[in-house]
Chains A and B, each alone.
Chain A
C-alpha cells in the first residue's frame, strides 16, 4: 500500500508531447497544473467581487443612508439617488458570505493547491482521473456563472444570509430575494457541491494509489495530509448540504413541508404543516461547520510547509501535526450544534455540543504551539510567503481563542449573532484562510507560472493587509459585546448604539484601505505572470518533489523517471549534510539514519 510501483509503466508516454490545441491546453485541459491555475484565476475573480461587496456594505454601516457615488455606479436601481436600500444591503451580505466561503476559500484555495500539489508532491504524473478533474473545474465555473447571474434578476439576489434559513429563504413573499434569486442560488450551490465531490474523490484516490516508490504515508508532506483529510471531510459532509438544498427546492416549488409549518404571511395562511426550520439548521450546519475546516485545513497544510521551509528547520512534531489534523477532522463532524444553542433545540443537546466544541480547541492549540516551536532556533527567511504564514498563525490564535466564548453555550446566549461572531470567524477562518492562500500563491507562483512575484510588492501587500485585518476585526469583538446585532442595515433606529458610530467608521476606513491594497497584489500577480523574473528550479531550496520538476510545465511532470523517495520532506539543516536542505529524492548517505517518526 505504501508505494506504487506501477508508475514506471507509464514512463514511456510522457516524453513525446501530444499535439495540443489551444482549446485542449488552456480551456478543456485535463492537466492538473492547468486546472489548478484555472481554479486560481476563477477564485481570484470571485474574490474581487466578494471583497468589493464587503466594502460597499461597510460604507453603508459607517455612513448609513448617505448617498455614495460607488453605490450609484454599481447598484443601479437598488440605490436610488445613490442611497443603498435595505434589501440590497442584505443581498450584499448574503452573497459576500456565499462567495467568500464557497467560491474563494473552498474552490479557490483547496481547488488550486490540491490540484497543483497532490500529483507534484506525491510523485504522480497527474490526477487519478484527468477527465473528472476537468469536469470538476467546469462545474465550478458553471456554478460561479450562475451565482453571478443571480445578482441581476429582477427581484434581487438571495438575501436570507449565507445560511439561507427557511422560511425566509423559502417564501418569495417574505423577501424579494427569495424568488428567482434564491432559485439560482440553490441551483448554483447544487452544481458547486457536485464539482466539489468530484474533486474530493479524485484527490482521495490519487493520494491513496499514485504515490511514488518510497512515499509512505509517514513521509508525506503535511500539505498532502491536509488536502487528503479535507477531501474526506468534504465527501462526508457536502452531500448533506445537497440534500438540504434539494429539500428546500421541493418546499419552494413542489409544496412539500420539510422545513415549514404554520405560516401566516401577507394576510393568508399557507398550507404548510409539520415541517421544522430547525431541521434545516441541523442539515445546513452538518456541512456548515465541517466547511470551516474544509477551508482552514488546506491553509494549515500550506502554512506548515512554508514555515518549515523558510525556518530551514524540520516541522516540529510531524506526528502530532498529523494526529491533530485527524482529531480536528473527526471532531469537526460532531460540533455543528454550537451554531444552534438558542435555536430552540433541547438544552441538553446544547450541553453535548459545548463539550465537543471545546475539545476541538485542544488539537488546534497543539498545532499553534508546534508552529511557534518550529520558528524557535530557526534561520528564518522572510519571504512574503513566510510573512503570510506567520500572519496566519497570529490571526488563527487571535480568532481561535474567542471560540472558547462562542463555543460555551451559556456565554453564547448574549453574543450569538452579534458582531462578536463576525469578528471571531473572520479572523479564525476568513483572514487566516486567506493568508494561507496568499502564502501558497507567493510560495508556489514560480511552480505555477515559471516566474517570480515581486517580493517588495509582496512585503507591502502583507504589512498593510496585516494591519488592516486587525484594524477591521479586532474592535468588532467589542461592538459585539456591546450588543450590536449583525445584519442590521442601519443602527440609527437604536440610539442605544449611537456611541459605536465612530468605531464603525474606523473599521470601515481600515476595510477600505485594506481592500484597496489588494490591488497591489492583483497588479503583482497579473504583471508577474508575463513579466516577472524567470524562476529557478528550486528558488526556496525546498525538499519536496515538486521542485524536482522542470520550470517549464510538461505533461506528465517529470521528463524522465519519476523520482523515488528515500526520506521525509523535512530534512532541513540536518547534521552531517553540507547544505541546509536534503530533498526527498536524495538517498540516505552511508550510515545516515532516517528520523523515526
Chain B
C-alpha cells in the first residue's frame, strides 16, 4: 500500500515538474531570451532568500519542538553524565547563536544587495583588522571549549580501579552480548578465543585452569548495583562491535585481539528511572504509538506494551543482524544485586563435564 502511495506521489511530482516547465517556457516568451539572471530574477530570488531564512529558523524550531524534548538528552543515569550534558548544552547554545547570526547575515545580504541595473558594487577587497577579529574570536571560544572538553574527557577515560570497583567483562559476538562478572575475588580469569570449547559449554574461552576463573559468573543480562563504580573490560570474538549505553553516556568499541575498557558509576536505579516524569511521559507516548500498531507488533511476536529499561546496543556495523544486537541493563540496589548474583551459576559449575 505504501509502495503504491509512494509511486503515486512520484508520478504527481513528475506531472508537476512537466507542468511547471511549460509555465516557465510560456513566461519566457516576450522577455529577452537570455539565460542570464534579469533584474526580475534578482528580485524574486532575493525574496526567496529571505523566505529560506525563515524556513531554516522554522525547521530549527520545529525540530526542537517535536524532537528536542527527548529524555535521552537529559536524565543521564551515570555520575559523569551531567557534566557531559552540560558541556553538550553549552556547545549547542554556542552553535545556535553562531548559526542564527551567520545564516541571517548570509541571507539578508543576499536579499539586501540584490543586483540592480546601474548600481555598482563597492570595491572592497581587504581588511586586515576584520580578518584578525574573526580569527581571534573563534580562537578564544574554541580554546575554552577544547580545555573544558579535555578535562571532561580525561576525567571520564582515566578510570582508577579502587577496592569498591566491580570488574565486568563485556563479551561481543555476532549477534549478542554476554557479561562476565569477576566473582568473589573481583579478578577476571584469563581468557582467549582459542580456549573456546563449545562441547564443554565454555563459550567465552575462559581458562579452566586459572584459579581466578573458577568463581566467574557469565550472564546474558547486565545487572549493576547503583552508586558503585563499574569497570568494563571489553572483548569481541569475531568482528568489531561497539558497546553503546546511551543512558549512561558510555560507549567503547570491542576489538578482536585486544581488551578495551570503559568505566562509569550508575547513579539511578531502573525502578527510580521508571518513576521519572519525563520517562513516564515518553513511555506513555511510545505505548500510544504501539497501540496504534497493535496488529503488526503482535504479528512479530513482540510484547505490545513497552516498559522502560536501560539498554546496551551494538553501535558498530557487524553484519546481518547488527540491528538487533542488544542486552538489557538493570541498575538496582546493592541488596537486590547481591540476591541476583547468588542465583547465578559459577563458571566452574557451568561447564558440562
Contacts and interface: CB of A to CB of B under 8 A. Distances in A.
A489 B323 contact: yes
B142 to A, nearest CB: 5
B91 A493 contact: no
Contacts of B94: 404
Contacts of B119: 379
A573 interface: yes
A267 B105 CA distance: 62
B2 A413 contact: no
A546 to B, nearest CB: 17
B281 to A, nearest CB: 10
A276 B258 contact: yes
Interface residues of A, number: 151
A171 B68 CA distance: 41
A165 B242 CA distance: 13
Interface string A273-309: 1111110000000000000000000000000000000
B49 interface: yes
28 contacts: A59-B6, A66-B3, A90-B322, A265-B174, A273-B257, A274-B257, A319-B126, A344-B260, A375-B109, A376-B113, A380-B110, A382-B42, A383-B41, A390-B107, A390-B110, A394-B52, A408-B149, A411-B87, A414-B246, A416-B242, A475-B59, A482-B67, A482-B73, A483-B72, A485-B314, A489-B322, A496-B306, A597-B125
B124 A517 contact: no
A243 interface: no
Given A264-B193, A368-B102, A491 B323 contact: yes
A570 B126 CA distance: 12
A393 interface: yes
A470 B107 CA distance: 15
Contacts of A463: 48, 52
A491 B149 CA distance: 32
Nearest to A503: B67
B214 to A, nearest CB: 22
B174 A533 contact: no
Given A463-B48, A520-B17, A312 B121 contact: yes
B268 interface: no
B224 to A, nearest CB: 18
Contacts of A265: 174, 237-238
Interface stretch (A128-136, A192-200, A358-366): A358-366
B45 interface: yes
Contacts of A563: none
A247 to B, nearest CB: 15
A67 B56 CA distance: 34
A520 B258 CA distance: 52
B190 interface: no
B115 interface: yes
A63 B251 CA distance: 29
Contact of A487 (B37, B130, B194, B317): B317
Given A175-B319, A347-B153, A574 B123 contact: yes
B317 A382 contact: no
A225 B113 CA distance: 28
A375 B120 CA distance: 13
Contacts of B130: 317, 369, 373
Contacts of A108: none
A195 B20 CA distance: 41
Most buried by B among A171, A274, A312, A501: A312
A351 B150 contact: yes
A540 B36 contact: yes
A488 B322 contact: yes
B35 A313 contact: no
Interface stretch (B131-139, B162-170, B176-184, B330-338): B131-139
Interface string A256-268: 0000111111010
B98 A275 contact: no
Given A161-B317, A414-B251, A68 B286 contact: no
Nearest to A352: B150
B306 A382 contact: no
B317 A275 contact: no
